[in-house]
Structure 1
């Protein structure tokens, strides 16, 4: 399972609770799309997650920026993701980042609003914020490999947006295979 979180905005701990904490501990890979806020929070995520791939956000301190990149590419179960916290040009910039990295989808954060949007050329996944939803539903994303046709090499992921209480409020699918 791939778990995606963002926008923790904490000083000393991961603020992981309920299903979000369980999912991070169970995941093969955890992607954090920025705004840990302070370095001890990054350390807490590295301790909690078996595999962590993260980017820094606009509110992350210099110690975090020295340790992780602003953008990166992550592959999981045949799906390639471009990961960044935000893009000044909005969704268009996110799609261009994804295309530039030959990605199947883009993961971002920043808005604290959980959403999956596949209407703009490349799917965009924002897990929202598990810790500071700012008027939105607190959330994270969980993605698992599709079992539709095990003979297919293209891959694909079944995804869902989930609250820390364990409520799934949106499901989606991301196709893989744009990379060779």
Structure 2
């Protein structure tokens, strides 16, 4: 399972609890789409997850920006995942980046709004923010492998699913 979070905006802790904390601890991979803010928060995420992939966001301290890249692309269980925070990207540049990376899934943060959009080429996922929703629903996402990609779920903090989506694996 993959757990996807973004925009923690913490100062000292990961701000995880309940079902989300369990999802982070049980995931094979945790993806953070930026704005952890401090090294303490990054370290707290690292201590709770077996494998953390993160990118720097516009609000991250210099020390976090030095530890995390602006973009990251990985392959996991047959899909290619590209991750950006999104503050430097328009819809067009996000699309171009996803295509350049041959991404099945593009994970973005920054807006704090949980969103899923599918195109013929890739699926865009913004998990929202679990800790600073800014007028949106506090949220995170989970993805589980299937025979032909992943089934994704946007979840409220108590684990309740409010949107289900498919991420098909596409040939490179």
- In the TM superposition, residue 89 of structure 1 has moved relative to its aligned partner by 4.0
Residue 153 of structure 2 corresponds to which residue in structure 1?
A: 160
User: How far apart, in 2, do the equivalents of 1:82 and 1:95 lie?
Assistant: 11
Partner-residue secondary structure (3-state), 1:178: coil
User: How far apart, in 2, do the equivalents of 1:134 and 1:6 lie?
Assistant: 13
Residue 177 of structure 1 corresponds to which residue in structure 2?
A: 170
Residue 76 of structure 1 corresponds to which residue in structure 2?
A: 76
User: How far apart, in 2, do the equivalents of 1:81 and 1:166 lie?
Assistant: 23
CA contact (8 A) 1:56 1:70 kept: yes
Residue 143 of structure 1 corresponds to which residue in structure 2?
A: 143
User: How far apart, in 2, do the equivalents of 1:163 and 1:98 lie?
Assistant: 27
User: How far apart, in 1, do the equivalents of 2:23 and 2:64 lie?
Assistant: 23
Residue 99 of structure 2 corresponds to which residue in structure 1?
A: 99
User: How far apart, in 2, do the equivalents of 1:120 and 1:89 lie?
Assistant: 20
Partner-residue secondary structure (3-state), 1:14: coil
Residue 40 of structure 1 corresponds to which residue in structure 2?
A: 40
Partner-residue secondary structure (3-state), 1:43: helix
Output the TM-score relative to the length of structure 2.
Answer: 0.96
Q: Which deviates more from structure 2 when the two are superposed, residues 85-94 or residues 110-119?
A: 85-94
- In the TM superposition, residue 130 of structure 1 has moved relative to its aligned partner by 0.5
Partner-residue secondary structure (3-state), 1:172: strand
Residue 117 of structure 1 corresponds to which residue in structure 2?
A: 117
User: How far apart, in 1, do the equivalents of 2:170 and 2:83 lie?
Assistant: 17
The reply to whether residue 31 of structure 1 matches residue 24 of structure 2 is: no
- In the TM superposition, residue 163 of structure 1 has moved relative to its aligned partner by 1.1
- In the TM superposition, residue 74 of structure 1 has moved relative to its aligned partner by 1.8
- In the TM superposition, residue 177 of structure 1 has moved relative to its aligned partner by 3.3
* Aligned residue-pair number: 172
- In the TM superposition, residue 120 of structure 1 has moved relative to its aligned partner by 7.1
Partner-residue secondary structure (3-state), 2:53: strand
Gaps of 5+ in 2: none
User: How far apart, in 2, do the equivalents of 1:178 and 1:71 lie?
Assistant: 22
Provide the alpha-carbon RMSD of the alignment.
1.3
Output the TM-score relative to the length of structure 1.
Answer: 0.91
Deviations, residues 94-118 of structure 1 (Å, cap 9, x unaligned): 1111111111121000000001001
